[in-house]
Amino acid sequence: MKNNWWKGLAVVLLLYTGVAGFLLPVPRLHILNETIRNLYFHVPMWFGMTFILAASVYYSIRYLRTPTPQLDVLSHEAAKTGILMGLVGLATGSIWARFAWGAWWTNDPKLNGAAIAMLIYGAYLVLRSSFTDEQQRARISAIYNIFAFATAMPLFYILPRLTDSLHPGAGGNPAFAKYDLDDNMRLVFYPAVIGWTLLAFWLAQVASRIATLKLKVYEKQLV
């Protein structure tokens, strides 16, 4: 239980986000209106995704240095959690876009970049499932995972900033700079980012432990 303090922190921060995210005051802005509160739910998905995918790359590198099934499981489950958060981020962003920009999807560099990055990670899952040999699967998908991260991050955070975009934080638009001035939003936004990121790590940890258990059970059956 001593090692699980961060799970308790995740519960507290997420419940706080759920309450304070609706009740604390937010700046009055045209078009956005109350939807500005999506900042506490949509944006942390991408933060969580970035951190958990970085963790996945970390385990992939460690796997390539010392190949163990445990490290492969950790990197795979972290990547899957990151993909889930990215898909939720795309879906929530699409809903927000419908009411802020008037369309479910626009051919915006930020949106298309995120979609392409998600497809790159989709290919990671396809690649994994196409091997029968476990060591080959683990090694090649670890290498692919590193390249996927290196390709996806510029698509998320660098390329959209180089062109015009509707999306905040792209094409010269301010990201949070404008809202950051509002201390009330900061009071919820930072805990929300930490809470949702911790939740992503929690999900990945439980999924990894189940996958590891499965491996152990299969080993016992073989003996």
Partner 1 sequence: MKNSLSDNGAGSARARGLGFRKILLLLALLLPALQPAAQAADIPEMADSFRSDGKIYVVVAVVTVVLAGLLAFLISLDRKVSRLERELKE
In angstroms, the Cα distances linking 153 to 37, 157, 188, 208 are: 25, 6, 26, 24
Name the phi and psi angles at 183, rounded to 5: -70, -25
- The site string for partner 1 over 144-183 (x = CB under 8 A, - otherwise) reads ----------------------------------------
Closer to partner 1 at the Cβ: 150 or 210?
Answer: 210
CB of 22 to partner 1, least distance (A): 5
Return the range that interacts with partner 1 (CB under 8 A); candidates 16-24, 45-53, 84-92, 135-143: 16-24
List Cβ neighbours of 135 (8 Å cut-off, separation of 6 or more). 67
Q: Residue with structure tokens 């995740």?
A: 10
Closer to partner 1 at the Cβ: 18 or 168?
Answer: 18
Rule CB under 8 A: is residue 186 a binding residue for partner 1?
Answer: no
Question: What DSSP string runs through 40-100?
Answer: GTHHHHHHHHHHHHHHHHHHHHHHHHS--HHHHHHHHHHHHHHHHHHHHHHHHHHHHHHHH
Closer to partner 1 at the Cβ: 32 or 78?
Answer: 32
Show contacts with partner 1 in window 28-57 (CB under 8 A). Answer: 28-30, 32-34
Rule CB under 8 A: is residue 210 a binding residue for partner 1?
Answer: yes
CB of 128 to partner 1, least distance (A): 22
Return the range that interacts with partner 1 (CB under 8 A); candidates 109-117, 134-142, 168-176, 213-221: 213-221
**What is the chain's alpha carbon radius of gyration, rounded to the nearest angstrom?**
19
**Pair 52, 220: CB distance under 8 Å:** no
Other Cβ atoms within 10 Å of 183 Cβ, number: 7
Which is it for the CA torsion 7, 68, 145, 115, positive or negative? negative
Rule CB under 8 A: is residue 24 a binding residue for partner 1?
Answer: no
Closer to partner 1 at the Cβ: 10 or 49?
Answer: 10
Which residues contact partner 1 by CB under 8 A? 7, 10-11, 14-15, 18-19, 22-23, 26, 28-30, 32-34, 202-203, 206, 209-210, 213, 216-217, 220
